[in-house]
Structure 1
């Protein structure tokens, strides 16, 4: 097995973690690379091999758990492996031997940890989940497990960046109706359209929840085809499907 090299955040040093792109996998065609998407239409055995390779780079002796993501604000705390993936967009655990992860293809993966409490979280923050409070729910679940907000550190991994993320007036209104100050996450584009800073908004939501030490990796999934899968890029190119990348975190052994 070729173990892929993940992107890591210095804030999470000492915590087994990694944000992966598409390099190092065995998928081919439109899914070429480290595609971990169970619903991508890729060969199932190939996807499982890619997941095993990613896990080996982070927590080789752990059991990897990922949710069935539905763009919600639901976070589930896990204590043991599950047979059926819960419909949720974040997981939290403090159990050594478990690794938790989320898959993305433009949405923002967020990994969180309180080293002292040995509690970790992984959240999938698309625009809908971010606006709905998925990071707030993850922080709350970590605190319920013994973490303290002031000790939690977080990292926002590869996601679509503002120069690549054009949205319409209705999209912008959703955010400004929630909080007029959200206008700062938009810049004007062509008539009736704007560019949205998803990464910046997620960092803001983490800070508003009390997580003030946050690393944003600043990696644009849409613009960097060689390194990342992108739903929006695949759609714009008329491709029949697209791969997903994974972010994984685990409690210290």
Structure 2
């Protein structure tokens, strides 16, 4: 189990050098029990005081003094411009963008792929939550278009994909694969044969594929498996397989340079 006295750890992407950002895991928080560590998920069975403290620590580790803005994530392809809403009035969406200094965008994940994007020259950043459904519905493309609407240039946008469930840990059934094949038979190469009637889905490469379709030229994948690394990350699927009553969520944060 994670030691709550550990400092907050933030993974960084080379393509986002110079941009305040971080892909955080579960180390460095005050939560205990099944969500021990830096749980930032409002939907987890955790004390609200602990979640608030963890969120404050996360922001301080990435963009000290910045105002945190998040959305109510629903596995959609929708992106919004960050506003001044509070947690109780978050819009339902799975990505958000900003060109405002002093704002830090936050996305929570627990196996889905977090995407952080930036156009440094334009001073525009974005953050997206890309599970298979959100990616399939175009959340990466929607985030790029929302950034462009704020003044970003498609050919300057760079993106990093943070820790998420790896192909070896992500078993799906034939019906799942059929959705992708029906859209484009070429998407079959994101699936490796598994046990009878099942496949292993490569979420991270698929998200990178969707970013490339959106015109993002520089894409970095951190290739960290949230399912396999119990000490480092929370995982919905791991908790489900163990029949645990709740699971934590980790933050991915980005602010304007």
Whether TM exceeds 0.5 here: the answer is yes
Structure-to-structure mapping, 1:42-81, within 5 angstroms: 42-78=46-82, 80-81=83-84
Report what 1:185 is aligned to: 190
Aligned-residue offset at 1:134 = 0.3
Report what 1:202 is aligned to: 207
How high is the TM-score relative to the length of structure 1? 0.98
Aligned-residue offset at 1:51 = 0.5
Question: 1:235 aligned to 236, 240, 246, which one?
Answer: 240
Aligned-residue offset at 1:2 = 7.3
Structure-to-structure mapping, 1:93-172, within 5 angstroms: 93-172=98-177
Structure 1's consecutive aligned runs of 4 or more residues displaced over 4 angstroms after TM superposition are: none
Aligned-residue offset at 1:37 = 0.3
Structure 1 runs not aligned, ≥5 long: none
Report what 1:249 is aligned to: 254
Write the distance in 1 (CA, Å) between the matches of 2:104 and 2:67: 6
SS at match of 1:60: coil
How high is the TM-score relative to the length of structure 2? 0.96
Write the distance in 2 (CA, Å) between the matches of 1:67 and 1:181: 33
Question: Does residue 44 of structure 2 align to residue 40 of structure 1?
Answer: yes
Question: 1:11 aligned to 1, 11, 15, which one?
Answer: 15
Mapped contact 1:3–1:54 kept (Cα < 8 A): no
SS at match of 2:93: coil
Structure-to-structure mapping, 1:209-228, within 5 angstroms: 209-228=214-233
Report what 2:85 is aligned to: 82
SS at match of 1:225: coil
Structure 2 runs not aligned, ≥5 long: none
Write the distance in 1 (CA, Å) between the matches of 2:53 and 2:247: 17
Aligned-residue CA RMSD in angstroms?
A: 1.0
Encode CA deviations 1:24-77: one digit per residue, 9 max, x unaligned.
111000000100000101000100100000100111110001100000001001
Question: Does residue 31 of structure 2 align to residue 27 of structure 1?
Answer: yes
Write the distance in 2 (CA, Å) between the matches of 1:196 and 1:204: 13
Number of aligned residues: 251
